[in-house]
């Protein structure tokens, strides 16, 4: 009886781990998509001329900051 409970707990643990790893992979996909969107925005902001008021330059700084946070999140999700 005890062996059966231990085996059942082990199998349930493996199943739970499988679901958790699948969730992490899905979240990493969202982070990659966000990074792609930021890269696209960065390209468009660099093409924006003239930068009246310096707002495009500030947005570029914010994009760099967001990219760093995404990289950190991706390292944590893996």
Separation CA 71–CA 24 (nearest Å): 14
Q: pTM of the prediction? A: 0.64
DSSP state letters, the chain: -HHHHHHHHHHHHHHHHHHHHHHHHHHHHHHHHHHHHHHHHHHHHHH--S-GGGHHHHHHHHHHHHHHHHHHHHHHH-
> What does the pLDDT look like over 13-70, one tens digit per residue?
756 665 555 655 667 889 999 999 999 999 999 999 998 899 999 999 999 999 999 9
Residue with the bigger pLDDT between 3 and 64: it is 64
């Amino acid at each position: 009886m005890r062996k059966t409970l231990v085996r059942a707990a082990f199998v349930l643990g493996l199943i739970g781990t499988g679901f958790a790893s699948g969730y992490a992979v899905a979240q990493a996909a969202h982070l990659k998509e966000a990074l792609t969107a930021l890269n696209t925005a960065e390209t468009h902001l660099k093409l924006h001329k003239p930068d009246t008021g310096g707002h495009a330059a500030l947005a570029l700084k914010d994009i760099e900051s967001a990219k760093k946070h995404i990289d950190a999140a991706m390292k944590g999700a893996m």
